[in-house]
Structure 1
Amino acid sequence: MAQLALTATRRWASAPLPLRIALVYLTARAVTTALLIAAALQSTSLSRFGADPGLADFVVAWDAQWYWLVAEEGYPSELPLTESGDVAENAWAFMPVFAFAAKGIGFLLGSWGMGAFLLSFVAGYFACVALHRLLRDRLGQHAAMWSVVFFASGPIAAMFQVGYAETLFLLLLFLALDATIRRRYTWLYLLIPIMAFTRPGILAFALYLGLHGIFRWWHRREDPLATREVVHIVVLGALATVAGFSWQVIAGVVTGDPGAYLATELSWRRNWLVGGVEGFIPFEGWIQASQFWFGQWGLPTSWGPVVLALLVVTAGAALIYLPQVRALGPDLRLWSASYLLYLLAVFFPQSSTFRLLLPLSPAWGALAVPRSRLWRVGVLAACLVGQWVWIYHVYALGNTFWQVP
């Protein structure tokens, strides 16, 4: 038996890297499929999916329906309004790249849902390959592979199999981070515009490019910074910033309302705050949410901002001092800091919170650094438990769980 295990290990180690990642990815997808089937069996008439839904129903559920709507009907030229006169939820909150790419693929396969599933599934595999490439030079081949295992099996792994833009954005993000770290800046002229129209978050990448440029300038004596690289970094930072605000401009031009996009995004926040939302103020969302959720949990609302501040300080300290995080290298830490700051500035924590943390996926590498087999198996087990908790609440319970009390 020991000889068989040794032989299998050697064959695994000698197999081509894309094949090893494919085996990991397909195994993870099989587990996720089993969990989705289990959730479907437990769905009731009280869920948004009703009793006995199929996997195809999950593929086009929740926000996937908005991408589908974008693909079929485009964007409204007139913003829909609620009975109170506020801007209602509408398609302007969802970027076009995934929606129309899935439509093109779906044209060949017979439905938008099939196109969306295949796009998410395939993009997820290549995101695993890109994540391994991103981490292997810093963590080594073994830890990089474990990072892929955690990433492919994580709590939000259902995103690899449903009609969301997450996996496509992650693929583009990992490629962009890798290109930046390897100083292949010219690739970013292609990647940044596509990222900008796939999913919100390119402004975080603009901030990261700025911090990357400052870091390189600070260390220019030991790591020479050529003039052409300075030009690339400045121009690409400007491109990412312009691209980040361009969707707001486009929405304003089409609808005739300069605030169309922000008003659309705030329409989702309005569902959670009984008192309504007056307008967008950076960083206000997390403060409001901390008070809201502490109130819902029966705790003093004044504790919310205090706990929030402690979380921010803890996250900052981890990025700076934690050895496992430092092993990721300065660029991935700068990206994590940039994206966390972006989320703090624009987001209101609610049912999408964990999904919106996916761009921090390179941080899986920090959990893969410890070489203890018990530790790694424990992290994987926690990932699978978290995955079931997420799938059960989102797909089995549906509306019976994710609703404002």
Structure 2
Amino acid sequence: MDTSRFPALEQAASSLAGLRRPLRDVTAVRIAAIYLAARLVTTSLFLLASRLSPPGSRFGPGADLATYVLAWDAQYYHRVASEGYPLELPLTAAGEVAQNAWAFMPLFPWAAGATAWLVGSWAAGAVALTVITGFLCCLVLYSILKPAIGETAALWAVVFFASAPLAAMFQVGYAEAPFLLLILLGIRSLQRRQYGLLYAIIPAMAFTRPGVLAFALLLGLLGIRRWLTRAHEPFARHEVVHILALTALATVLGFSWQVIAALVTGRDDAYLATELAWRRLWVGDAGGFVPFEGWPQSADYWFRLWGLDPVWGLISLAVLVLAIGAVLVFSPYVARLGPEIRLWAASYLIYLLAVFLPQSSVFRLLFPLSPLWGAVAAPRSLPWRLTVLATCVVGQWWWIWNMYGLGTEFWHIP
């Protein structure tokens, strides 16, 4: 088939071929060694947490790795694979919508179920899927960072990423690793002006976990930037068409799960009511969903809990937002990563501000910002890099111990 007659197919084929090339390079072997070593460290930390977990821990003393794989949200993904979604939303004794599977997208649990056919169980399939997609994330992360910061720094970014405090996500039944792989592939496609593959990436992203609306914002902001700088970098008509079409696609798919949940359950607010069931754990029944309300609510909640004036919570929130914005705009190390990564970071953070209520899961929700490891790795000081790596491993132990070894407090929810 002559793909030259179909530019989108030609771009997609070129992008896929570009992913295969690193696999033939010695660098891929080095990345594989880095990733394998990091997974052995994570496994050791899980086993240590199991050995040290007290009798009153959530999963009991001596819980095995299989228990951790299916812990927390993983049980909902498993339920989606085995039972599907409820046709009628479950209710609490007070008549409110209870936590249920509609908060979780179907692609990861179904893919893990398909993989289970080869490895014997859904849990094993989920781990295989997350481990493999985590490795692919390392390869793609390296490929998008190397042109910006060089080979050595890109490899260090992979080291930090594979050993990060949230590295447990590569070995449990969560959709974070597959979702991040789609994000990284999307950024790579935008960097290389290869739009064809995005028509497959965006639908997969939309049904893996929430966040495709952030990618829609990235596309919109990138399109505006390309238009404003077209005098220096030509913005071809076919690129304009692709950006507009992909932004529309990501936006429509970003709301599609709400429509699907409403059609299946017969409740227009099925998805939002389900998501708010988790929010009630922290702030009670605060009414319906209002964009950008969650962070002020959370600041008020936490500062009152700590016995501090909640006004300082709002002030701290404003300072935090301004500080992060300043880093994205002015940091030379972030600037070196290129506009696609910077705009993705800004878009995703705006998305979190709009939809998320910060609590202990906020660390996990920052996982899609992993391309910023390139900025952390950019300084050439070896003591700096070794200190970052040590901090990553210590943070990983803190996360695993509190969320899996203990899991007994309201802030022990990953």
Per mean C-alpha deviation after superposition, the further-off stretch among 42-51 and 387-396 is 42-51
> Counterpart in 2 of 1:342?
351
Q: How does 1:3-402 map to 2 (within 5 A)?
A: 16-274=26-284, 276-400=285-409, 402=411
- Contact residue 150 and residue 364 of structure 1 kept, 8 A: yes
Q: Partners in 1 of 2:53 and 2:257 — Cα distance? A: 37
Task: Say if 2:69 and 2:127, in contact at 8 Å, map to a contact too.
Answer: yes
Distance 1:365 1:101 in 2: 30
Aligned alpha-carbon RMSD (Å): 1.2
Same amino acid, percent of matched pairs: 58
Equivalent residue letter for 2:335: R
What TM-score does the superposition give when structure 2 sets the normalisation length?
0.93
User: CA, structure 1 residues 15+187, in 2 after alignment: closer, same or farther (shift >3 Å)?
Assistant: closer
Q: Secondary structure at the match of 1:48?
A: coil
Which residue identity lines up with residue 224 of structure 2 in the other structure? Answer: I
Measure the CA separation in 2 of the matches of 1:140 and 1:166: 27
CA displacement, residues 136-174 of structure 1 (integer Å, 9 cap, x when unaligned): 111111111110000000000000000000000111110
Is the 1:393–1:401 Cα contact (8 Å) retained in structure 2?
no
Q: Alpha-carbon deviation of 1:107?
A: 2.1
> Residue 181 of structure 1: CA displacement?
1.2
Q: Deviations over 1:163-210 (max 9, x none)?
A: 000000111110011001110011100000000000100000000000
The 3-state SS of whatever aligns with 2:392 is helix
CA offset digits 1:350-400 (Å, max 9, x no partner): 121100001100000001110000000011111111111111100111124
Query: Shift of the alpha carbon at 1:293?
Result: 0.9
Residues 314-353 of structure 1: per-residue CA shift (max 9 Å, x gap): 0001111111111111111111000000000000011211
CA displacement at 1:44 relative to structure 2:
2.3
Q: Which amino acid letter does the alignment assign opposite residue 61 of structure 2?
A: A
Q: Secondary structure at the match of 2:196?
A: helix
How many pairs does the alignment contain? 390
Question: Contact conserved, 1:87 with 1:267, CA < 8 A, in 2?
Answer: yes
Q: Which amino acid aligns with 1:214?
A: I
Cα deviation, residue 15, structure 1 = 7.2
| TM-fit CA distance, 1:108 | 2.1
Q: Give the secondary-structure state (helix, strand or coil) at the position aligned to 1:278.
A: coil
Question: Residue type matched to 2:188 in 1?
Answer: D
Moved more, 297-306 or 32-41: 297-306
- Counterpart Cα distance in 1 of 2:42 and 2:295: 31
CA distance in 2, matches of 1:403, 1:332: 31
* Alpha-carbon distance between aligned partners in 1 of 2:407 and 2:203, rounded to the nearest angstrom: 34
CA contact (8 A) 2:170 2:177 kept: yes
* Conserved? CA contact 1:46–1:400, under 8 Å: no
Could you tell me which amino acid in structure 2 is paired with residue 199 of structure 1? R
Unpaired segments of 5 or more residues in structure 2?
Answer: 1-23
In structure 2, relative to structure 1, the CA distance for the partners of 1:35 and 1:403 (3 Å cut) is: closer
SS of the aligned residue for 2:98 comes to coil
Q: Is the 8 A contact 1:43 1:397 kept in 2?
A: yes
| C-alpha separation in 2, matches of 1:136 and 1:403 | 36
Q: How far 1:115 sits from its partner (Å)?
A: 0.2
Letter of the 2:315 partner, please give it.
Answer: V
Q: Which residue of 2 aligns with 1:8?
A: none
Give, in angstroms, the shift of residue 304 of structure 1: 0.7
Assess if the C-alpha contact under 8 Å between 1:207 and 1:338 holds in 2.
yes
CA distance in 1 between partners of 2:155 and 2:264 (Å): 46
Native 8 Å contact 2:403 2:412 kept in 1: no
TM-score by length of 1: 0.95
Change (3 A) 1:383 1:311: same
Deviations 1:235-267 (A, max 9, x none): 000000001000000000000011100110010
Residues 406, 412 of structure 2: 8 Å contact kept: no
The AA in structure 2 aligned to 1:283 is F
